[in-house]
């Protein structure tokens, strides 16, 4: 069966691209154009007609990709037609009449690419991430993963384990013969290193920050201007600014991009002796949120007593004194100049410096680094399972349990890691990976 789909968004546009993949591709292109299909990978201008009536529909570029040199590894074609609703409908209707053709399922082109070994599962996931990327850092990370950086890391680990397993099995097999002893021990040392490497990778939060946004909590006493700071940074009225204390009763969040990284800015209820139950709940949430956030923006104001230590100032936090238009406040002792900002939301004084500091901080701590980062829960779960198996294997080995059982643990870990790229179990994982794909991809 040959599949087809509109691969550009529906609606009006300069051009629309319809893709075909499968063994009948060439024949269908020839029937639509009434000419021999173009040379592989060479664009040719063709008139597309209804093969039943001979009626011309549109003219456009036609590209043919010969198997296996295509995205799916099958014969493929791209029809670049004018991006009009009626034109697209008309061509799709014509295609639907070919008995050799059927519409593609969501993500089916990429799915074929995986099945035919052109990319692994992490690369397919990166194709979806690439399309969904809304910030530059997300897009860069997705591109790197699409080029195979993450898959190579995991496949490298799997191969290391395969080698360790082979050595261990040799050790088991020839245990009674005159082999230099201690091979098993050397292998276990390597496994221990790998286990730590995996654990460090799981703890590295950059992938999560890139996917879900860096959490920044704005905290401070009522009326110091927390809502005002949030509104200024968000450029819109997300929190109600009021002169009465305790108006922000819940957590108000806005999403923004800092240093190319998505961030979620949360204004929390004023931390103070809360009045009613709702307000107390607000304070509880504020404290929880603030403690768990990636960065805390501690806000106080001119004339206010220094921040109470309800939420500790942690490394990487920023301390802001607002209402600088009313008077200046000296930097509290123990704070670095780089962590202290005097601002006035009212006049805008000091705001550019604060924004620059936030940008740099987010980019330096949560932006891209050389090492590829963990990007999906699916990967995290598999790595955690793999890590558990390695840990168990090492414990068994050190307590003198038979090496066969240790080998079985290594095998289990290998299998879990292999599931990330699809080196094992690819068929059973396809539905999970391609659940969120759009048609035509
Ligand atoms: P929150 O309770 O900490 O969220 O504080 P709000 O943002 O609601 O602000 C409390 C009051 O302080 C409002 O009346 C604001 O207009 C005022 N305010 C905010 N920023 C400034 C500032 O920079 N200078 C002065 N003079 N007043 C400000």
Nearest-CA residue for ligand 1 atom 10 is: 223
* 411-438 residue pLDDT tens: 999 999 999 999 988 888 888 888 878 8
Å from CA of 242 to ligand 1 middle = 7
| Sign for the pseudo-dihedral over CA of 291, 296, 302, 306 | positive
Å from CA of 360 to ligand 1 middle = 26
Q: Which atom of ligand 1 is nearest to the CA of 241?
A: 8
The tokens for 191 are 């496994």
pLDDT of residue 248: 52
pLDDT of residue 244: 52
Query: Domain segments of the chain: what residues?
Result: 2-104, 136-204+374-434, 210-366
pLDDT of residue 193: 95
pLDDT of residue 436: 78
pLDDT of residue 270: 55
Q: Which atom of ligand 1 is nearest to the CA of 240?
A: 8
For ligand 1, residues with CB inside 6 Å are: 222-228, 241-243, 248, 270, 322-323, 325-326, 344-346
The closest alpha carbon to 273, from 327, 310, 237, belongs to 310
Q: Which atom of ligand 1 is nearest to the CA of 222?
A: 2
pLDDT of residue 357: 92
> Would you identify the CATH topology of the domain 2-104?
Gyrase A; domain 2 (3.30.1360)
Segments of the chain with pLDDT less than 70: 175-183, 236-251, 269-275, 278-279, 282, 307-309
Nearest-CA residue for ligand 1 atom 17 is: 225
> Would you identify the CATH topology of the domain 136-204+374-434?
1.20.120
Å from CA of 223 to ligand 1 middle = 6
Strand partners, 80: 17, 61
CATH of 210-366, one of 3.40.50.720, 3.40.50.300, 3.30.470.10, 3.40.190.10: 3.40.50.300
Nearest-CA residue for ligand 1 atom 12 is: 225
Å from CA of 22 to ligand 1 middle = 64
* 105-154 residue pLDDT tens: 999 999 999 999 999 999 999 999 999 998 888 898 999 999 999 999 99
pTM: 0.76
The two most distant CA atoms of the chain are separated, in Å, by 86
Edge to edge, the sheet with strand 101-103 lists 44-49, 56-65, 76-83, 13-21, 2-6, 101-103
Q: CA angle, 185 as apex, 179 and 187 as ends, to 5°?
A: 95
Cβ-based neighbours of 336, under 8 Å, separated by 6 or more: none
Nearest-CA residue for ligand 1 atom 25 is: 323
Å from CA of 244 to ligand 1 middle = 10
């Amino acid at each position: 069966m040959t599949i087809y789909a509109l691969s550009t968004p529906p609606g009006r546009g300069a051009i629309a691209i319809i893709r075909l993949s499968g063994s009948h591709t060439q024949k269908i292109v020839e029937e639509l154009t009434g000419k021999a299909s173009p040379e592989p990978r060479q664009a040719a201008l063709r008139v597309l007609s209804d093969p039943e009536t001979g009626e011309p529909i549109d003219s456009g570029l036609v590209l043919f990709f010969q198997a296996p040199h295509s995205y799916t590894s099958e014969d493929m074609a791209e029809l670049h037609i004018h991006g009009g609703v009626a034109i697209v409908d008309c061509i799709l209707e014509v295609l639907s009449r070919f008995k050799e053709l059927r519409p593609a399922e969501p993500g089916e082109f990429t799915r074929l690419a995986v099945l035919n070994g052109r990319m692994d599962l992490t690369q397919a996931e990166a194709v979806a991430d690439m399309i969904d990327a809304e910030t530059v850092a997300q897009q860069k990370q997705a591109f790197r993963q699409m080029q195979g950086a993450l898959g190579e890391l995991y496949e490298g680990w799997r191969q290391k384990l395969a080698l360790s397993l082979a050595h261990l099995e040799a050790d088991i097999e020839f245990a009674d013969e005159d082999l230099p002893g201690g091979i098993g021990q050397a292998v276990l040392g390597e496994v221990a290193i790998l286990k730590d490497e995996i654990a460090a990778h799981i703890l590295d939060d950059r992938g999560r920050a890139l996917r879900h946004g860096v959490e920044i909590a704005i905290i401070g006493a009522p009326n110091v201007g927390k809502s005002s700071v949030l509104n200024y940074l968000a450029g819109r009225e997300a929190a109600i600014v009021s002169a009465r204390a305790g108006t922000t009763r819940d957590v108000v969040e806005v999403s923004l991009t800092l240093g190319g990284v998505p961030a979620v800015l949360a204004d929390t209820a004023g931390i103070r002796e809360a009045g009613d139950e709702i307000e107390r709940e607000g304070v509880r949430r504020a404290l929880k949120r603030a403690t768990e956030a990636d960065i805390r923006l501690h806000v106080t104001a001119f004339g206010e007593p220094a921040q109470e230590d309800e939420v500790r100032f942690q490394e990487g936090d920023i301390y802001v004194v607002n209402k600088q238009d009313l008077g200046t406040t000296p930097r509290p002792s123990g704070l670095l100049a780089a962590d202290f900002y005097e601002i006035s939301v009212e006049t805008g004084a000091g705001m550019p410096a604060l924004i620059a500091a936030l940008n740099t901080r987010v980019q330096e701590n949560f932006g891209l680094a050389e090492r590829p980062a963990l990007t999906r829960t699916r990967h995290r779960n598999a790595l955690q399972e793999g890590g558990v198996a390695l840990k168990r294997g090492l414990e068994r080995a050190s307590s003198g349990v038979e090496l066969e059982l240790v080998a079985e643990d290594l095998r289990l870990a290998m299998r879990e890691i292999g599931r990330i790229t699809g080196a094992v179990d690819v068929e059973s994982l396809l539905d999970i990976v391609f659940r969120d794909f759009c048609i035509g991809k």
